[in-house]
Amino acid sequence: MPVVRPADTVTHELHGVRFVSCAAPRTGSRELCAWRGEIPAGAEGPAHTVSREEILYLLDGELRVTLDGRTEHITAGDTVIVGAGTTFALANPAERPATTWVTTSVGLEAELADGTRIAPPWAR
């Protein structure tokens, strides 16, 4: 049974957000990836279209989530299902950080509005 300890995680930063990779092929997962997102107060990420379904669970704080132009305010305990092909944006309008737990399948990619493609290392 693979157990991933905090010392085994890898932290990445992109657009002011920390992604703490817990489950990925590098840690023994073959099909799924999971990470903790640490979103600072006032952070606003760019809209991007995801290639695979993502499930985002808000552990702590509050966020503004936009899916295909529709915006929702979420609080701790809420789950957001981001379908493949959905344009997704995340912002933390609060005065304190927010923490998420996200899962997806291996190989997730994202495309920014300008056409830039991102293959996040925490989903590889």
Q: Which domains does the chain have, with CATH numbers?
A: 39-95+107-124 (2.60.120.10)
Distance CA 90, CA 26 (A): 27
The per-residue pLDDT for 9 is 96
User: Each residue's pLDDT tens digit in the chain (124 positions)?
Assistant: 689 999 999 999 999 999 999 999 999 999 999 999 999 999 999 999 999 999 999 999 999 999 999 999 999 999 999 999 999 999 999 999 999 999 999 999 999 999 999 999 999 9
The per-residue pLDDT for 77 is 98
The per-residue pLDDT for 1 is 60
